[in-house]
Amino acid sequence: MSKSVGIVGARGYVGAELIRLIAAHPQFELAFVSSRELVGQRVADHFKDIAGIDPELRYIAPSNDELPSLGADAVVLALPNGKAAACVAAFDAAGVDPVIVDLSADYRFDDTWYYGLPELTRATYAGQRRISNPGCYATAMQLAVAPMRDALAGPVQCFGVSGYSGAGTTPSDKNDPDKLRDNLMPYALTNHVHEREVTRQLGHEVQFLPHVAPHFRGLTITANLPLSRAFQREDVVARYRTCFDGEPLVEVLDEAPWVSRIAGRHHVELGGFTLSPDGRRLVVVATEDNLLKGAATQALQNLNLAFGLDEWTGIPVANTQQGRAA
């Protein structure tokens, strides 16, 4: 039996990716798609390359109080930070309990919500219907650091660069192609929400230095890990391969991954493992499409998990070569 999924805030880049993934999913169907800017327009007219969209489905702009009456089995909140609580409160007030996946940071620090980074947290999933989707950078950083967590000797530093789609559609310096041309724009260099998120989830201090680049999609982070003892490179690589063995959305490479190769793909690439001469400092590089594994693809993983489906249903996983020999 198919499950219906509603999307709140579908005009943005991530909302568009969600529409594509859910419309193509064999067991999900779009219940509603909300966007104030596109209200009344046919969704299919904006996705002519997708066959699975009901030609009569139109963008709507329901109030928060109207959302519970729309009858979706699951609702994905693709809203800016600070906007999710009012939607959740409306469902609570109406006594309606769909699966809710929140893509904002609003519930990532709330222990009553499941934190859905499946490769690291699926063992803690116990039927929760409120799921907080991790941040894009936070996903890459955690996957890059987690295999070495027990051997860390001090704060981890992560230098990050993202395409400007990560800044959303609301105009700003961080998504202005003219200002970004031939440029690398630093921002939020301390206390970034993803810095706090990763520090909390890993139980270890992570210092994050984010930047925006002129490309549209895809992010890369270079993580500097101080280690409590000396390691050999083959031992480090073995740790990563063991940690992510059987994970089709994590590819462990020998060489450092390139952000230009990750755009449009659904997995994270980890590689470039480099140790200092004394073996006590490791550098790891991670790349990811911020709109896919950093947001929409991960939301689909979490929806599949919530409905008892194979976690990778509806996700193209054949384009990874997980486990490629180092």
- Pairing status of strand 156-162 against strand 219-226: antiparallel
Q: Which of 87, 136, 158, 243 is catalytic?
A: 136
Cβ-contact 204, 152 below 8 angstroms: yes
Name the amino acid, one letter, at 56: E
In whole angstroms, how far apart are CA 296 and each of 50, 93, 148, 231?
Answer: 16, 27, 27, 36
Structure tokens, 305: 């998990």
Euclidean distance between CA atoms 185 and 175, whole angstroms: 10
Euclidean distance between CA atoms 85 and 91, whole angstroms: 10
Cα three-residue angle 69-70-73, rounded to 5 degrees:
110
Cβ-contact 14, 78 below 8 angstroms: yes
Q: Would you call 158 a catalytic residue per the annotation?
A: no
Euclidean distance between CA atoms 314 and 34, whole angstroms: 22
In whole angstroms, how far apart are CA 144 and each of 109, 205, 212?
Answer: 21, 14, 20
Task: State the distance between the two ends of the chain, measured CA to CA, in whole angstroms.
Answer: 43
Tell me the HSE value of 61 on the side-chain side, using a 13 A CA sphere: 8
Active-site residues, by number, are 136
